[in-house]
Structure 1
Amino acid sequence: MTTDNNILVVRSFINQFWNGAEPTNADQFLSADYVDHAYVPNNRKGLEHTARLLHSAFPDQCSSEESILAQGDRVIVRLRMKGTHRGNFRGTEATNNPIEVLLYREFRLANGKIAEHWALLDTASLLRQIGAELHEHPACQINKS
């Protein structure tokens, strides 16, 4: 696949899966051995679960492309996600506040399908916009017992 074809696959995936709120169409975009480095579990189930949670909290969310780069089998896209907080998100009930956050996604493609995915969302900005309490404690703590 060429880098242009990889870009087309990624754009279609974002538009149909994320913006179209169609987690059932993941099979047409993801390889059989898909690995997700952003969500738990680190496979298509984690991706689909995260998409359902996001669409439940922000049903009108839509990500628009700000830039996209491709090299070899990799595609990196910077997105601006906008929406309205209409459902529970990480323990914060709906506020009906508008949200607007930056999101970066990296994809590795193989044979025309997405084989791996990484994501970085400006979660702190999102939480501030919905009035969620930000803690000084690290998001992940290691239990040394």
Structure 2
Amino acid sequence: MTHDNSETLRRFIETVWNRGDLSNLGDFVGESYEIRHDPGDPWDGKTLTREGFAERVRVSRAPCPDQAFASVDMFDGGDRIAMTWTWRATHLGEIAGFAPTGKTIKMSGATVYFFKDGKICGHWQIADRLSVFRQLSASG
């Protein structure tokens, strides 16, 4: 059976991360999800159940519920897809000790997503979290 992993990833980003819709998470994410490398992410190095991944999404989206990832480029390597992206959100909740500012914050990054049997089972990511820190520091 062949899978269109690029299309799955596009739908996953839009449905799960941009809209926060977890109702069909099993369509996108495998039974377990390994965060192989994601410095600054509290889940870095952990393997999550699907339910644990759902909690990660809820916690991550809470301070910026209108967040939106936009794919810049996608490189399809079959069971590994690399995506460069930009992220934009309104700072409405506490982030790392920074009180909500109501301002728009932005960052960019690159993520390699790993697939098994057409489901995302992990990622390796670099994100420009320093720019978020700078934007939040300038808001205070």
* Coarse TM-score class (shorter-chain normalised): 0.7 to 0.9
Greater relative CO, 1 or 2 (CA 8 Å, sep 6+): 2
The RMSD of aligned alpha carbons is 1.9
Aligned to 1:23: 22
Long gaps (5+) in structure 2: none
Aligned to 1:105: 111
Long gaps (5+) in structure 1: 133-145
Contact 1:36–1:118 (CA<8 Å) still a contact in 2?
A: yes
Q: Which runs of 4+ in 1 moved over 4 A?
A: none
- Compute the TM-score of the two structures, normalised by the length of structure 1: 0.79
Aligned to 1:56: 62
The aligned length equals: 130
Residues 9 and 109 of structure 1, relative CA distance in 2, 3 Å threshold: same
SS in 2 for 1:23: coil
Contact 1:86–1:95 (CA<8 Å) still a contact in 2?
A: yes
% of aligned pairs identical? 26
Question: Which amino acid in structure 2 is aligned with residue 109 of structure 1?
Answer: F
Structure 2 Cα separation of the partners of residues 28 and 36 of structure 1:
19
Normalized per residue, the structure richer in strand is 2
Q: 1:118 aligns with which of 117, 124, 129?
A: 124
- Compute the TM-score of the two structures, normalised by the length of structure 2: 0.82
Contact 2:90–2:103 (CA<8 Å) still a contact in 1?
A: yes
Question: Which amino acid in structure 2 is aligned with residue 101 of structure 1?
Answer: M
